[in-house]
Amino acid sequence: MDVFVWLITMLLPVMIFVMGLVFKLSPPRRINFLYGIRTQRSMASQEAWDAAHRMGGQLWSVTGAALAVLAAGALLVFGADIAVMFAVYGASFIGLFVPLGVIQHRLKRMFDERRQPLD
């Protein structure tokens, strides 16, 4: 039972880390509707698409690694418990979606045509 709880608890943090590595090492080359960070801003241009995946790869690989370390620490301190698993999954969902907001904010700052350059 303990091994199963460890594996299930570590699954989402490791998947976030792997997704980050995939976006860093082999991001989708062209804008598409099947795979990648598909938001209105990221799909506005090829340049925004590439920037979104560079940022996403970096953010998710760091977030996934940090979540995996925290999850392993929680499992060691509190034991292989279902409550620990749910806490890790809650933190993982936050770690999965917060970077999307960060990416959107950065893309807005990078590619907003109405923004005037500082003199």
Q: Quick one: pLDDT at residue 119?
A: 44
How high is the mean pLDDT of the chain? Answer: 91
Cα distances from 36 to residues 20, 23, 25, 32, in angstroms, run 11, 8, 13, 8
Q: Cα-flanking dihedrals φ and ψ of residue 80, to 5°? A: -75, 90
Reported as a single tens digit per residue, the pLDDT across 52-97 is: 999 999 999 999 999 999 999 999 999 988 899 999 999 999 999 9
> Is the distance from CB of 88 to CB of 73 less than 8 angstroms?
no
* Mean pLDDT score, 5-13: 92
* Mean pLDDT score, 93-108: 94
pTM: 0.85
Q: Quick one: pLDDT at residue 1?
A: 62
Please report, for the chain, the start and end positions of each structural domain, with discontinuous segments joined by +: 2-111
